[in-house]
Structure 1
Amino acid sequence: MTKPAGPPTLLQDDDRPAFPLDAWYAVGWDHEVGRTLRPVRVADQPLVLYRRTDGQAVALADSCWHRLVPLSMGALIGDEVECGYHGIRYDGDGRATFMPAQQTLNPSACVRSYPVVERHRFVWVWTGDPARADPDRVPDMHWNADPGWAGDGTSIRLDCDYRLILDNLMDLTHEAFVHRSTLAQAEINHERLDVVHDGSTVTATKWMLGITPPPFWSAQLQTVFPDYAGPVDRWQIINFAAPSTITIDVGIAKAGTGAPQGDRSHGVANRILNTITPETATTCHYFWAIARDYRLGEQRITTQLRDGVTRVFAEDVAMLTAQQRAIEANPGHAFYNLNIDAGGMWARRAIDALVDRELAGAVPAGTGR
């Protein structure tokens, strides 16, 4: 990996598409896709989701071959989708199996079927060329299903460009201002952010040593060390994988006990798991979870963490929605970049590289597990 000399420039009137199509995008938590027709728009493409009787998740284009009526307005008959307008049925591969009032099926009667993978408690759909749909490129969010971790999460629909969420997550200095009552502390804006990148991934790291923990983290540390009230070493390690997944390694440990050198036995750690699915150029679905590596059997802590992060993210939603409205009111405006923006700007460059390679017809490089 190489370190950037400084944050690159970003103009808001870039003509390239906002998102690549050759990518795995989360379309729902595993429990949300079942034996009902579930409409969702991904990368500006309307899809309908359901499960076959054998449990396999299916994603079809949400428009009937006959008159383009959304299939999600129809019915699930066995493993087939029946259009609610004229009753044409389609199997899980998108091929028509029945047409009303005729024995012969038109051989062109089909709708697009999308590759689907279930991993890390999410259902993922590939929106681009199906020949490139390599399951190994599903982003690594294994903490969400790892028995060595406990956690939970949810999803949020936002009226903003998905890249604004990536900007927000790649720069946690906003905690000092947006999240004053929970995560804020002055050291966030004093300590250096180290950023490295390799073209498709970006890692931003910050250590805050010998500090007083903010309320959120103080409460977490005391679930394991109830009598400790001293200074802590705090870390934030943000890992971005193009085009839209960020996992954040965060935690605190008793000051001076070796956390920067790798010994976290005197602290607590969380993984904040984030994957953002563009719905359109200005709307998106934000899937997130928080997992921890301590007190794994206590549902109370799991619920408290999920609810706490939900309140924190609600503050982000208000800010990001307002930012999107301001961008729309100021077309062509250039973002002015500070040193704190380096992680987000390199993440955007990685997205642009995927889009550019896709437009050129090349197979984009990807990461996953």
Structure 2
Amino acid sequence: MTVTNPGSTTTNKVLGHPLNAWYVVAWDHEVTRRPMSRRVAGRPLALYRREDGKAVALADACWHRLAPLSMGKTVGKDGIQCPYHGIVYNSAGRCISMPAQETLNPSATVPSFPVIERHRFVWVWLGDSAKANPDLVPDMHWADDPAWAGDGGTIHAPCNYQLVLDNLMDLTHEEFVHEGSIGNDALSQAGFDVTHGENTVTLTRWMTDIEAPPVWAAYLRERFPDYVGRVDRWQIITFQSPSTICLDVGVAKAGTGAPQGDRSQGVNGYVLNTVSPETAKSCHYFWAFMRNFETGSQRLTTQTREGVAKIFAQDEEMLRAQQEAIDANPDYEFYNLNIDAGGMWVRRLIERQLAAEGRLLGAV
């Protein structure tokens, strides 16, 4: 087991959220001509599409009396009308129409935020718009790569977003939280490697010559109907700062070369996860499971989406209980085990981002 030491990290249970970053605000199909509301990093946003289809994110508060614009309606090619007094703003957030007057107050604007659509998601940048580089959108290309099939969903998780990241970086919890589906005792017995870059953390775990957990045994039989035997299993977890984690996971027939790079006798999935903080105690957790086997089977796509949703519901129950315990025990601190190495590096990178923004202390 190779683990790089992240050095000292905050003793706080949870951290704040960087603002100079892309966060998913919605699935692409959720944003339509009809305005909707979603809060990201404490900021209520009004989301809609212009007539040409481009997604728009404005602050969800009218300049006049702070009425939520998301309760209004779209007008013209790119406008949104306040539901209270009818003031209209364009997609840049500038007022273009006021009731009962021709002269427009030049201060009549609402903040508009950079938006980009990629990997089936709508991403928003809430920090310095001059730094909103599209190249910084996390890589989740499996979501719309024709070589991969799958689907996902959204969990409105009742916890700080950092707790979800902790959960995903340490998958030994599968042995206990997800016993009978994706978990078995090989997880806590296996070693792992942790490496990191400037904005990424990767945790790699191989479990060779083990019994396949029930879910993975079923996936393997989808491709190899008559196969019975032991497997080699892998979990390669990659964090992309500040809140995206992609899991390269799968199993192959034991001894067929998967650890050396030959996965031809196995089944491979990517679990895509990106977590958008809502408040200090809630977040939107967007996930998808993509696979590169039996890609033409809608039956398998539907069954997998529903099965993963049930598994993640177990995580949600635990995260809710954990957040409640944190709230009830404000003087308690977290303690770290070897299995927390990946999560500790995640916290270190987030701390660095917050420090660069001058927001490390009292950042939530």
Shorter-chain TM-score tier: over 0.9
Post-superposition CA distance 1:259-284 (Å, at most 9, x none): 00100000000000000000011110
Conserved 8 A contact 1:8-1:342: no
Structure-2 separation of matches of 1:13 and 1:43: 18
Structure-1 separation of matches of 2:142 and 2:70: 33
Q: Give the letter for the 2:304 counterpart.
A: L
Q: Give the letter for the 2:244 counterpart.
A: T
Conserved 8 A contact 1:13-1:332: no
Q: Give the letter for the 1:259 counterpart.
A: A
Alignment of 1:1-369 (within 5 A): 3-5=3-5, 8-12=8-12, 18-78=16-76, 79-359=78-358
Q: Give the letter for the 2:57 counterpart.
A: A
Name the TM-score, length of structure 1 as normaliser: 0.95
The alpha-carbon deviation at position 8 of structure 1 amounts to 4.7
The alpha-carbon deviation at position 340 of structure 1 amounts to 0.3
Alignment RMSD: 1.5
Secondary structure of the residue aligned to 1:58 is strand
- Report how many aligned residue pairs link the two structures: 358
Secondary structure of the residue aligned to 1:359 is coil
Secondary structure of the residue aligned to 2:235 is strand
Q: Give the letter for the 1:59 counterpart.
A: A
The alpha-carbon deviation at position 7 of structure 1 amounts to 7.4
The alpha-carbon deviation at position 12 of structure 1 amounts to 2.1
Secondary structure of the residue aligned to 2:223 is coil
Structure-1 separation of matches of 2:242 and 2:140: 14
Structure-1 separation of matches of 2:190 and 2:215: 20
Secondary structure of the residue aligned to 1:291 is strand
Conserved 8 A contact 1:8-1:346: no
Structure-2 separation of matches of 1:164 and 1:13: 9
Structure-2 separation of matches of 1:174 and 1:9: 22
Post-superposition CA distance 1:188-208 (Å, at most 9, x none): 010112111123210001100
Post-superposition CA distance 1:251-303 (Å, at most 9, x none): 00000100001000000000000000000111100000000001111101111
Conserved 8 A contact 2:3-2:341: no
Structure-1 separation of matches of 2:359 and 2:216: 47
Task: State the percentage of identical aligned residues.
Answer: 59
Structure-1 separation of matches of 2:286 and 2:111: 25
Conserved 8 A contact 1:88-1:98: yes
Segments of 4+ moved more than 3 angstroms: 5-10
Secondary structure of the residue aligned to 2:289 is strand
